[in-house]
Amino acid sequence: MSVSATTITFQFSDGQPAQTHVAAAGESVLDVALNNGIQLQHNCGGVCGCSTCHVYINAGGDDLPEISDKEEDFIDRAENPRINSRLACQCVVDKDMQLVVTIPPQHFLGH
């Protein structure tokens, strides 16, 4: 019997090799990135007050909490928003999830 863990695979638009990290239930994608030395801007401190932690969810997005109106408003202000855009601070994982996330270029200060 195998025990399934929640993992997040971070892909980088700047060509860095992908990294996969284990996440605990209740952690956000932002938490996991920062805890593992992955640079991800978060000007508001992870409270859904800006768009700097904008990421693309490539797989596993259906298992995440539903997007709020507030999060959607900030995504509209993000650079190059897509249908799979989320704010990493709002993507809180549960157990037995496998997410694949792309971190877009972070050459801006954000809103």
The answer to whether 90 and 48 are in contact (CB under 8 A) is yes
Q: What is the pLDDT of residues 30-81, one digit of tens each?
A: 999 999 999 999 999 999 999 999 999 999 999 999 999 999 999 999 989 9
Instruction: Return the pLDDT at 50.
Output: 95
pTM of the model: 0.90
When pLDDT is averaged across residues 16-35 and rounded to a whole number, the result is 96
Instruction: Return the pLDDT at 107.
Output: 65
Going by pLDDT thresholds of 50, 70 and 90, the confidence category of residue 3 is low
**Could you give the CA distance from residue 63 to residue 44 in angstroms, rounded to a whole number?**
25
Which among 55, 68, 65 has a CA at the least distance from the CA of 100?
Answer: 55
Question: In this structure, is the dihedral angle defined by the CA atoms of residues 89, 90, 94 and 99, taken in order, positive or negative?
Answer: negative
